[in-house]
Amino acid sequence: MESTIQSSCLTCDFRPDRLFCDMPPESLKAFDEIKSRASYPRGAVLFAEGRPVRGIFILCDGRAKLSICSDSGKRLVLRIAGPGEVLGLGATLSNTPYEVTAELLDNSQVVFVRRKELLKFLRDNQSICMEVVRMLSQDLHGAYERVRTIAMVRTRHPHITFRPRALVV
């Protein structure tokens, strides 16, 4: 991991388009004081499923693959996270191990905030805290939709089994 000069969220051109980044100036100034920003190479793992929580990661740019490991050891990609997304938020707030593995698909700039500093920041900035609650609710509803989609495919076509086939050229 290569550290970069910490830039301010106040001057970020993408800030208005990103839910967590679009805070009032006084909140952004306080956030700048608790965050660290670093460059990571493609393939870097920000955090791994089952590992102790350290804090949240915010993708400034690039993408991250969020995956889980099945009982048989196979990796299942849940989704691809993009710029502006907050990763590890649920685990950080509940102080439980990370639920997924986050691996970068691109060279990326990433902001990190330690759990302790995040909790103090949210206590001091109640409007931001409510935004975080909304984000967690959206994540939960997204998970419900993914489960519903998977369940509906299997109930509509119970005779279909999904097996990879060889490509015939």
- The one-letter amino acid code at 127 reads S
Q: Indicate the CATH number for domain 2-156.
A: 2.60.120.10
Tell me the pLDDT tens digit for each residue of 28-74. Answer: 889 989 999 999 999 999 999 999 999 999 999 999 999 999 888 89
| Residues 67, 78: Cα–Cα separation, whole Å | 5
Q: Tell me the domain boundaries of the chain.
A: 2-156
Taking 70 as the pLDDT cut, the residues of the chain under it are 1-21, 154-169
| Residues 129, 132: Cα–Cα separation, whole Å | 5
Give the other-Cβ count within 10 Å of 5's Cβ: 5
